[in-house]
Chains A and B, each alone.
Chain A
Amino acid sequence: MTKHAGWWYGGVLALLVLTSLIALMAGTEWLGLSQVTWAVSHPASRAFVTIFSLRLPRILSSLICGGSLAVAGALFQAVFRNPIADPSILGISSAADFFKLGGALLLPWLPGRNWLMALVGGLIALTILTSGRALTDPYRLIIVGVALDATFVGLQQLLSSGAAAVSHSTFNGLTWSDTATLLGLGVVGLVAALILAPWANYLKLTDSALKNVGVPVNVLRWTLLLLGMYLAVSVTAVVGTIPFVGIVIPNVARRLVGHDYQTVLPFSMLAGAWLMLAADTLGRTVIVPSEISAATMMAVIGGPFVIILLQRGRGFHGMSTR
């Protein structure tokens, strides 16, 4: 933990509160602080409906999604020992999206269909990613991941040309039931990630160094990998694929609060939640009454960040996974 970590935690918490307030007020119709407090005690008013049925579920959903994606990214980076590994860039999320779409077409009667299918997709992508030689070399991993991502995006387009239900990766139109699903899935995964944070630290050592001290490397690796996958596909199942949160946030977190995953993970969770909320709030207010989806906002913010990270930062100097 760096000297200023405490300040950064304070800062991100303050930003979270501030942005949440703004997000409650801003929208097609601007509601001042007094109107918001008035609405709370008037459940029959239009302002109440706007806030509690439209804005609040959307705010909570983007918070939990941002936190989940950031933590999923940090876990993938720890496991693959590669600072730009992340479920979205490695094709996990698009595989989940593709299977979700396939499920909607073929198994419309299946209960919990979206989540189950997304999980299957995530597992299949993960299996492909880890079965070959991609793990031996960080560049190969990213290239295989990007190819996997392109394949599943293509398959999805192939399938969706005949279908009506295409995912748009947006928080627009989320209901309380979607929010409840996201919260339930996300909180379980995030709590597990915080508990398992020391394992992410252990994986900074090579496999052979870990074996020397009797640590079951593969148990650690697969637990964290499956957990990261679970967090990412849970977001995909409800909202869709949102790129780059998992790359941007953990890398900023390491700069600000140090490399200890016991501080990186909680900080990533908070900062990811904030970034997602800020991006979504901005996206739905800049071109009122229309809006820009969260995925588009993140692509615009995250793409340049990754380019800067790789062109100027230390990149993945000296890293390989085995």
Chain B
Amino acid sequence: MECQHVSYQYPRQTRGLSDLTGVFPPEQVTTIIGPNGAGKSTLLQLLARRLPAQAGQVVLNEQPLNQLSTRQLAQQVAMVTQHHQLYDELTVREVVATGRLPYHGLLQAVPANEVTPYLDMAGLTSLADELIQDLSGGQQQRAWLAAALAQEPVVLLLDEPTTYLDVHYQQQLMTQLRQLAAKGLTVIQVLHDINQAFRVSDWLWLLQDGQLVASGTPDDLRDAKLLGRTFATPIEIVTVPHLGPYIVQLPD
């Protein structure tokens, strides 16, 4: 997936993205980082075609995103968000089944055997007939992720997937994302925790004020000056035993 001169301006606001060009390497985990208001979530919306690029284009496998039908898009790009997604009760099985909708007619039922593998993979088989509202935050997250994976996408987008998870689940999720990338999925996520981003990613996009400041491997971007300038705060990189480099924000 790549961006070619992509711009997007919110109406009546200065916020937006201007002239972004860069790639998201296939079959790797890319994390978009940057200060609040840098346009991270906006970029993710554009990659999911939830917002239209006003200039330039997002390209997936050499095909512009806006040339795909809604259904074709749903077969290639899946997204997991943190926003509440339900108005009424649905069971875990029904939630995961929604991921199969891009492959069926609107009046066709989703066959059970297309859902079970994803329930198994998420470890939710025993909870399949529970209401998703009754599950813990971590379990709910797993169910929505399972639904996204049921779309069999080429690209998986995640908007701050660790927000409501405790440290244990965060770790588990990041391990799972790495495994998925190893199996051929392109993972693109927005994370707030810079250290987590540097630790789990193969590739990073650093955004500031709607512009791409830098992109590269974590080693390329682990630069105290660059990060300090982008986040407008003094930053030092220290080495923690058994952990490696760690980015620390210094008091002003």
Contacts and interface: CB of A to CB of B under 8 A. Distances in A.
A209 interface: yes
Interface in B81-102: 81, 83-90, 94, 98-99, 101-102
Interface stretch (B10-18, B55-63, B68-76, B170-178): B68-76
B107 interface: yes
Contact of B94 (A201, A211, A220): A201
A316 to B, nearest CB: 9
A274 B79 CA distance: 45
A189 B117 CA distance: 37
Contacts of A205: 85-87, 90, 98
B232 interface: no
A139 B69 CA distance: 35
Contact of B78 (A195, A199, A202, A212): A212
Contacts of B78: 212
A204 B84 CA distance: 11
B145 interface: no
A204 B88 contact: yes
B53 interface: no
A209 B70 contact: no
B98 A81 contact: no
A272 B148 CA distance: 38
A208 interface: yes
A208 B89 CA distance: 17
B88 A215 contact: no
B74 A208 contact: no
Contacts of A215: 101, 106
Contacts of B87: 81, 203-206, 319
A199 B104 CA distance: 13
Task: Pick from B79, B84, B98 the residue with the most CB of A within 10 Å.
Answer: B98
A218 to B, nearest CB: 11
Contact of A195 (B71, B84, B107, B147): B107
B141 to A, nearest CB: 14
Given A204-B90, A206-B86, A259-B88, A198 B101 contact: no
B83 A199 contact: no
Interface size bracket, B side: 20 to 34
B28 interface: no
A307 to B, nearest CB: 22
Interface residues of A, number: 25
Nearest to B72: A214
A214 B107 contact: no
A208 B71 contact: no
Task: Pick from B78, B87, B101, B109 the residue with the most CB of A within 10 Å.
Answer: B87
B190 to A, nearest CB: 16
B151 interface: yes
B50 interface: yes
Contact of B107 (A81, A198, A203, A319): A198
A81 B87 CA distance: 6
A201 B90 CA distance: 8
Contacts of B75: 214
Nearest to A209: B85
B101 A259 contact: no
A211 B50 contact: yes
Given A195-B107, A198-B107, A206-B83, A212 B89 contact: no
B117 to A, nearest CB: 17
B188 interface: no
A106 B169 CA distance: 69
A220 B81 CA distance: 23
A255 B71 CA distance: 35
A195 B74 CA distance: 25
A95 B113 CA distance: 48
22 contacts: A196-B107, A201-B94, A204-B87, A205-B85, A205-B87, A205-B90, A206-B84, A208-B81, A208-B85, A209-B85, A209-B86, A209-B98, A211-B50, A212-B50, A213-B74, A213-B98, A214-B69, A214-B73, A216-B70, A216-B106, A318-B84, A319-B87
Closest 10 pairs (CB-CB, A-B): A214-B74, A204-B88, A81-B87, A259-B89, A214-B71, A209-B85, A214-B102, A213-B101, A214-B70, A206-B85
Interface of A: 78, 81, 195-196, 198-199, 201-206, 208-209, 211-216, 220, 258-259, 318-319
Given A203-B87, A208-B50, A208-B83, 12 more contacts: A81-B88, A199-B106, A204-B87, A205-B86, A206-B84, A208-B85, A213-B102, A213-B151, A214-B74, A214-B102, A215-B106, A318-B84
